Each structure stands twice: as C-alpha cells, then as structure tokens.
Amino acid sequence: MSVDSVLTAPAALAGPLTLVHAADDAPGWWRSAVIYQVYPRSFRDLNGDGVGDLAGITAELPQLAELDVDAVWLSPFYRSPQRDAGYDVSDYCDVDPLFGTLSDFDAMMAEATRLGLRLIVDLVPNHCSDQHTAFQAALAAPAGSPERDMFIFRDGRGDSGELPPNNWQSHFGGPAWTRITEPDGTPGQWYLHLFDSSQPDFNWDNDAVHAEFERVLRFWLDRGVSGFRVDVAHALVKAPGLPEWGGRADGNSSHGFPGHEAPMFGQPALHDIYRAWRRILAEYGPDRILCAEANVDPLPRLADWVRPDEMHQAFNFPYLHAGLDPHRMRSVITDSLTALDAVGAPSTWVLSNHDVVRHATRFGYNGPAPRDGDGIGPADAQPDEELGRSRAAAASMFMLGLPGGAYLYQGEELGLPDGIDIPDHKRQDPTFGRTGGERLGRDGCRVPLPWRAAEPHAGFGAGADPWLPQPASFTALARDTQAASPSSHLNLYRRMLELRRELRLGQGSLAWIEDWCTDSSLAFLNGSTAVLMNLGGDPLELPAGQVLLRSSTSAQHDGAHQLSSGETVWLEIYTEDTEN
Ligand code: BGC
C-alpha cells in the first residue's frame, strides 16, 4: 500500500520524510528477488567453439549461487539460425546444437535446483525464425490458407502489389515487410516482421497460435523452470486494419514515440493472452512467474500488465533510462511505486541488459553516452572507464537499496565496460547490417565474460577465439582476480547482495529524505537504512549514522567522512522503534 504524505523524521534525521511505499510482506519469492541475466552465447564456452554453452553455464552456476542471487534468467538457447542471437527461434522445444542438448538443459536445471537457484527462460512469442516449420509451411501454401494465417501475410499495394502493405518500419531499420516469391515463382504476398526479415511476426488473432504457445509454456514448466521472461510482450497483437504509423517501429518513448499510440504496441487484447498464461502457470503452483519485457508508457499503463491475474512483473525501462539525474530518478521511482502499489505488484529495477550499452560505460561520460542504444564504436567519443565503473557501483548500490525486485546483467558485478573496438566484420547484431552500419547495434554489451585471468581468453573458453573480441581491460577484471581482492567491484556486489538480504531491503519501504534530496543528491529511507547517492561534482559531508557500506571501497577502508562525487552510502539511521 502506498501512502503519499509527509511524515515526521525519526530521531536521527532532522527534516521531513515523504513516504511513497510501505513495507511489503505479501507472499511471492519474486517480489523482492534479485534475478541475474545469463546471455548464453557469452557466459562460458566449455566446448571450445568460441560461443558459450549450457554446459558452461552449469559449470559456473556455483559462482552465481555464491553471489547470492535468487534466480537466473537465460536469454534464448533454443534451436535457431542465430540471425538475431537466438531471438529468431526455429524450434521452441529444443536446444540449439550450438548450446548443447535437452539433456544439457536438464543437467543445468538439476544443478540450479541443487544450489537453490531458480531458472527463468525467455519466451519469444511475437515472432519466430523464417526457418520455423510453420513459416516454411506458410511459404509453401497458397494465399488465404490456414498455414499463411499463422503469420501476418498481406497483398502489397500498387498496381502489381509491388509496394508494402503499410508504412511500418522494422525495429532494426528498413521496412517491416518483406515480399515473398510464391511457390509458382511469381512475386507474391508480403509478410510482417517488426524485427529482422528472418523473424516473421505471428498472427495472434489466430487461435492456433495461442494453442502452440500454451504447449510451449507447458513443455518448459514440466522441465522445472520457474517462469518466463516474455520478449516484446507489448507487440503480439496489432491494431485491426494495420493502420499507418509515422513513428519508429520500437514505439519506444526513449526514442520520442509514446508506445501507446503505436498500432503495433499495447493493444487491449494482449491482456487476455497473459491472463490465460497466468492460469496455466497457476496449475503448477504459486511460484512460477511471468515477467514482461513491455516497453509501455506511462507507468500507470505498465501497471495494467501486472494486475493480480496477469503478469507477475514487468521490466522498468523508465528506470534504466533515467540516467544519473536526481530529479528524473526520483520521479521515476515515485511513479513506479505509486502505480504498481495501486495494483498490488512489486516494482523491478534494472540498469543493464543485452540490448543496451552497459551502465559502466554509459556512466563513463559526463552527459549522455553518444548514440545510446545504438552502440559505441572506436570513432565515437570514448568513455572514462574508471569513472564509469565507480559511478556504476554507486548506481547499482542505490538500485539494490530500493524495495522490489532487481535484475542484474551478467558481468555488471565485475564492472565490465562495453566492447568498443569491434571490427565491422565481427559485428553480428542485425541492426548493423540493416542500417548499413549507421547504427552499430548491441554487440558491445554482449562480449564474452572474463573468468580466469591466466587462462586463454581470460577463461571464457580454451578453444577458438570468442565470437566477439574481449577488450584488453577484461583480463584485469577477470572474476578470479576480483574474488581475491577485498576492494574489488565483485566483492562490493557480494556484500551489497548479502546486506540487501539481511536487511530485507527488497521487502522494505521507501520514504524520501527531503533534506538530502537536492539538485545533486538523492536519498531515501528503507526501514532503518538510509541510502544516499551524491550525484553532484563536489563531495558531501557524510550525515550522522552508522556506515553499513559505501560504493567507494577505498573510502570504506579509509573511513572518509565525506561522500565523494558519484558515491553511494548505506547508513543505519536508528534501530529502535523502526516503523516501515
Ligand atoms: C530482445 C532483443 C531482440 C528483440 C527481438 C528484444 O526485446 O531483448 O534482444 O532482438 O526482442 O526478439
């Protein structure tokens, strides 16, 4: 429940507090969980082919258990031609040989269970691969057939159907329609693909598509997964008549287009799909969850997705895009908690994933990163790596103090930067090819992880070169080196996660500490823990209170009395009569 009022501050705080969110002890492991995203291609390569695999994940799961995360979300490992790094699925119920076999999956599941980790898999229901048997059948069948009706085929415009059916653009650049050659060799209909031309969109007006995905859900639930991250969950249903749309196909507010106006996003019929899926999950008990990758604005509209009978969680992209501006951060956090409290759902928080420039790189610029979202290359202004890493530590520490769930992206616990020096011929994101290199794409955040400094490829794999080159700094940032250094980024993450659990911050409350919220700092109280981030250029006097943890590990050890620029501290404010 949220209470929007100004309270009297507890003894150790002089000024007023504005309570936004009350503590939440509703049942549900996910409500306060820390979920770690594994990007299988780049996690750990055990078979030496240069690409990560499921056996590699299984081998390193103990490291994630040691980090003390609750669950692991795996990006797709299904059969796929890999035109969009596995988000182009040709068989939803099998493992791509690149990553292993179904038995490897079962071994990974068993190891996760042994370690007390839950596994969440990625579901890609908006589109499949053009190599999927259903799409191949559609190509072989005539216009108007049930096979074609699994997808969105339309006749073209113009005298001989030579123009696409409407003006929609692909998220990856270029038109969202591709014309096929009919089985008799004549130029034929067009099919819709909001992403790459190798990713045809399903027709969610067709009951057979619903039935197929219900089968897929049960297949993975039967194998023991704790739930699904639902890819582009806002896009499955298109507005009747496929009306023209002037914006970019991502309809993404960060690109200036409010999602709710786009005819390919946020359509009302989506909600019934997710209600049906929730009923299926409920057959497996109360612990299986759905998390929406739903880029929907504004936040109250996003809250509609996590009403009690729909999804359990949705990614909080407004938070990811809030940067380090205290006013913007405060308003996103307040709006998120207020909107989600209204439907009884927890918020989630995230700073990095496989689609955006890593936050250690984004924050290495004074001002916005160049071409944020489109990748950074050698010809762009370069980030200050050290500055980025220390601000990233502070931003993560601020985020992990917030009540709700948190998503971490593999390698952020090592403070990894993006790979910037990637030769063009190595770039694999379809965005790069479809825009003629104008947008570099997302390869930079997908560079394979460094595990052991002394091993080939910093321990990613002992065989072929990694599918993307690792920056030189990866060796010094390898996990084993950091594990041995008390002041490392990794050890800070371990301590943050340990304390977050001990202090039950995920289940806690949030009240803004008004006197510490300025143009250059942001602070809140969660239970008896004050979280303060210095977002300005000058140091701040550390307020009274017992320092629990600070993001600058050297300051931690020196006992410095000032909070430096770009630093976060967790302070125990008072211990008696604490009210949440
Ligand atoms: C995934 C991307 C993918 C796209 C198409 C996104 O939301 O996170 O990596 O390219 O969906 O499936």
Q: Is the pLDDT of residue 240 over 50?
A: yes
pLDDT at 13: 85
pLDDT at 7: 74
pLDDT at 357: 96
Q: The pTM is what?
A: 0.96
Distance in angstroms (rounded) separating the CA atoms of residues 432 and 376: 12
Q: Where are the domains of the chain?
A: 2-22+516-579, 29-128+207-490, 133-192
**C-beta separation of 433 from 475 below 8 A:** no
Q: What would be the CATH architecture of the domain defined by 133-192? A: Alpha-Beta Complex (3.90)
- What band does 374 get if pLDDT is binned at 50, 70 and 90? confident
- Beta strands, E only, 125-284: 153-154, 177-181, 187-192, 227-230
- What band does 579 get if pLDDT is binned at 50, 70 and 90? very low
Q: Is the pLDDT of residue 278 over 60?
A: yes
Query: pLDDT exceeding 70 applies to what percent of the chain?
Result: 94
Nearest to 512 by CA among 13, 26, 31: 13
User: Which residues are catalytic, by number?
Assistant: 231, 283
CA 251 to chain centre: 18
- What band does 373 get if pLDDT is binned at 50, 70 and 90? low
The two three-digit tokens of residue 517, written as one number: 């919220």
* CATH of span 2-22+516-579: 2.60.40.1180
- What band does 5 get if pLDDT is binned at 50, 70 and 90? low
Q: Residue range 421-426: average pLDDT?
A: 96
**Coil, strand, or helix at residue 409?**
strand
pLDDT at 9: 74
Q: Residue range 60-73: average pLDDT?
A: 98
Q: Is the pLDDT of residue 152 over 70?
A: yes
Hey, whose CA ends up nearest to atom 5 of ligand 1? 87
Is the Cα dihedral 44, 48, 51, 56 positive or negative? negative
> Distance of CA 482 to CAs 394, 450, 477, Å?
18, 11, 6
**C-beta separation of 403 from 23 below 8 A:** yes
77 CA to centre of ligand 1 in angstroms: 13
Q: What is the pLDDT of residues 526-578, one digit of tens each?
A: 999 999 999 999 999 999 889 999 999 777 767 788 999 999 999 999 745 44
> Distance of CA 208 to CAs 134, 147, 149, 205, 229, Å?
11, 10, 9, 9, 22
- What band does 253 get if pLDDT is binned at 50, 70 and 90? very low
**C-beta separation of 444 from 357 below 8 A:** yes
Q: Residue range 365-387: average pLDDT?
A: 89
Q: Residue range 483-494: average pLDDT?
A: 97
Among 84, 196, 409, which residue has the most ligand 1 atoms within 8 Å of its CB, making it the best to mutate?
A: 84
- What band does 250 get if pLDDT is binned at 50, 70 and 90? low
Q: What is the β-pairing status of strands 562-563 and 289-292?
A: unpaired
Q: Residue range 419-426: average pLDDT?
A: 97
Alpha helices in 419-572 (DSSP H): 430-434, 479-483, 489-502, 553-558
73 CA to centre of ligand 1 in angstroms: 14
Q: Indicate the average pLDDT of the chain.
A: 94
43 CA to centre of ligand 1 in angstroms: 18
> Distance of CA 271 to CAs 234, 237, 301, 574, Å?
10, 10, 12, 44
Nearest to 18 by CA among 37, 30, 4, 35: 4
Q: What is the pLDDT of residues 68-120, one digit of tens each?
A: 999 999 999 999 999 999 999 999 999 999 999 999 999 999 999 999 999 99
Out of 78-87, 296-305, 326-335, least confident range: 296-305
Distance in angstroms (rounded) separating the CA atoms of residues 349 and 502: 19
* CATH of span 29-128+207-490: 3.20.20.80
Q: Is the pLDDT of residue 260 over 60?
A: no
Distance in angstroms (rounded) separating the CA atoms of residues 52 and 55: 9
The pocket around ligand 1, CB under 6 angstroms, is made up of: 84, 87, 124, 195, 231-232, 293, 354-355
Distance in angstroms (rounded) separating the CA atoms of residues 92 and 102: 12
